[in-house]
Structure 1
Amino acid sequence: MKLLRLFAVALFAAAAAVVALPGAAQAHGALQVPGSRTWLCYQDGRNPQTGAIEPKNAACAAAVAQSGTTSLYNWFAVLRSDGAGRVSGFLPDGQLCSGGTGGPYNFTGFNLARTDWPLTHLTAGANVQFKYNDWAKHPGTFSLYITKDGYDPTKPLAWSDLEPTPFDQVTNPPANGGPGTDDGHYYWNGNLPSGKTGRHLVYSVWSRSDSQETFYGCSDVVFDGGNGEVTGVGGGGTTSPSPSTPPSPSPSVSTSNPPNPGTGGCTAMYSVVSAWSGGFQGEVMVHAGTTPVNGWKVSWTFPGGQTLAQTWSGKATSSGSLATVTNESWNASVPANGHTTFGFLASGTAAATVQNLTCTTG
């Protein structure tokens, strides 16, 4: 009997150890479109060859430095078991993105007030398909809140920063795939808030109806005419969540212009992200030198008659093949040795390189 008890204790300890391994937690999901900080930082930091968490985005790296890599191995676990759907007055100001400090893991690094979190580009008032990972499936209600006009991402998020009522709410939406996978998700269509411009934050609350467990999440967005493109993941790259923008893309084209010395303390690096018949998507990274940049302008000339069609995270003017992009108010400042990124769509054959690429400040 004693031997049997010892065997049972050993078996229980082994099982507990398995549950404690990174990625093995019994957790349930996070908003993926528009992507939450935990989901996009997991995409940014996960090494697909080794499985290690190696953040490239500076905000994601800062979050991991504070909260540890477990906060990304368990990106789907920002929850409160006693939440019962409660929002304002339940989680303290400044702790909204971590679900407070009473969850199963330390997510406090995702409360950091920064302007360089991975960013989803949207169009105000547009109808979009929201996606919420279903690592575990439960009945319940999803509520999405938006920040008020004048939201300042450099300050800790408070309940007073959010509009008091959700702009979108759905109960028991359909699911595609899952559970227990990165790709499985609930999905539903809804309209984004109208009249919004510039930087904002979408706050998600998933309240289970079969328990008090409630999930919380922060998704950084910018209303700049985008169609769901994501920037700031994997060292500043841009990804498109669906084939609708750009239409029928071909595989990513890994070509770029090297940084140009420019003048006034900034350089620019041009690259093509994807291409399709009659157009392509590109991005430009604006790099600061050893001193901070406050205001920037990038210009270039397309080599073969290509023309600029649309930009995000920058204000564009163009004349024929000549394109000029200046900063938005929220990304004018670039710290010393840091960078920001803007994206664009262009018509014509994809231009692997451009001419006269310059960056100036002020």
Structure 2
Amino acid sequence: MDCHAPATYVRRRLALVLSTLAAVLITLIPMSGTAAAHGSVIDPASRAYGCWQRWGSDFQNPAMAQQDPMCWQAWQANPNAMWNWNGLYRNGSGGNFQAAIPDGQLCSGGRTEGGRYNALDTAGAWKTANITSNFTVKLYDQASHGADYFKVYVSRQGVDTTAQPLRWSDLQLVAQTGRYGPSQNYSIPVSTSGYTGRHVVYTIWQASHMDQTYFLCSDVNFG
């Protein structure tokens, strides 16, 4: 009898179990992005949605570090922030957003969800979407929550959003809406003037189903 046979058998069984577990985990990870079934701004893409859209199928590619360094640092900090691109919200703010979210934490919703989205506050050259002075914010709402209102802000001309995290004083309100009925797609028309170059579009979505508020940073370039 081969005295090494039992050890070989155990090693093979262990390898099989580990490979099976890895396959299950790989299958489950992308699903976590849709399990929460909430929503986000998809055009101009929010930071988390844009990173998921560009790299969700290739998030371990080291080329991201050079091609898209802000997304790279966000993926490295917490991949679940991108898989859950639709879950950046706070409950119970009561409309007092500046009290709930300190300066420098606007893009993470005040470090909501246990700090999952903290890397989205990091200042730097996030990929931008090219827009004109008149543009439309498009939001996808998987769960059809509806909206009590939307507020859309643009960072002030002259504020360098690559040098410091966003502050409330950096923002100018450019659009505020009334109620939207339950739907999966919302469009908010925005008309501006005087903006050129890189800015952040900051969208606040007050959902209708409960006191649940989404805080979404989109990086843009006014052409």
| Shared fold, TM over 0.5 | yes
Query: Displacement, 1:174?
Result: 6.6
2:187 is equivalent to residue 187 of structure 1: yes
Give the letter aligned to residue 197 of structure 1.
Answer: T
Query: Displacement, 1:209?
Result: 3.0
SS of the residue aligned with 2:119?
helix
Query: Displacement, 1:85?
Result: 3.2
SS of the residue aligned with 1:35?
coil
1:46 aligns with 56
The structure whose RCO (Cα within 8 Å, separation 6+) is larger is 2
2:130 aligns with 121
Moved over 4 A (4+): none
Could you list the per-position Cα deviations for residues 153-180 of structure 1 after superposition, in whole angstroms to 9, with x for gaps in the alignment? 21111111112xx21122344777x4xx
The question of whether the paired residues in 2 share the 8 Å contact of 1:22 and 1:74 is answered with: yes
1:286 aligns with none
Larger % of strand: which? 1
Could you list the per-position Cα deviations for residues 93-114 of structure 1 after superposition, in whole angstroms to 9, with x for gaps in the alignment? 1110011123266000110000
1:146/1:24 CA distance change after superposition, 3 Å: closer
SS of the residue aligned with 2:48?
helix
2:155 is equivalent to residue 136 of structure 1: no
The question of whether the paired residues in 2 share the 8 Å contact of 1:84 and 1:207 is answered with: no
Match of residue 162, structure 1, among 142, 165, 171: 171
Q: Distance in 2 between matches of 1:54 and 1:30?
A: 23
Aligned residue-pair number? 189
Aligned 1:257-296 pairs, distance under 5 A: none
1:34/1:175 CA distance change after superposition, 3 Å: farther
Q: Distance in 1 between matches of 2:151 and 2:112?
A: 21
Larger % of helix: which? 2
1:213 aligns with 212
Q: TM-score, normalised by structure 1?
A: 0.48
Q: Distance in 2 between matches of 1:75 and 1:206?
A: 15
Give unpaired runs (5+ residues) of structure 2. 1-27
Give unpaired runs (5+ residues) of structure 1. 1-17, 179-184, 225-362
The question of whether the paired residues in 2 share the 8 Å contact of 1:174 and 1:187 is answered with: no
Query: Displacement, 1:90?
Result: 1.9
Could you list the per-position Cα deviations for residues 118-150 of structure 1 after superposition, in whole angstroms to 9, with x for gaps in the alignment? 2011122x2x33210111111321110111121
2:112 aligns with 102
Report which of the two structures shows the higher radius of gyration computed on alpha carbons. 1
Aligned 1:192-341 pairs, distance under 5 A: 192-224=191-223
Q: CA RMSD in A?
A: 2.4
Q: TM-score, normalised by structure 2?
A: 0.76
Could you list the per-position Cα deviations for residues 31-65 of structure 1 after superposition, in whole angstroms to 9, with x for gaps in the alignment? 11111101111111111xxxx63362111011122
Calculate percent identity across the aligned residue pairs: 32
1:248 aligns with none
Query: Displacement, 1:24?
Result: 4.6
134-143 vs 106-115, which deviates more?
A: 134-143
Q: Distance in 2 between matches of 1:54 and 1:168?
A: 38
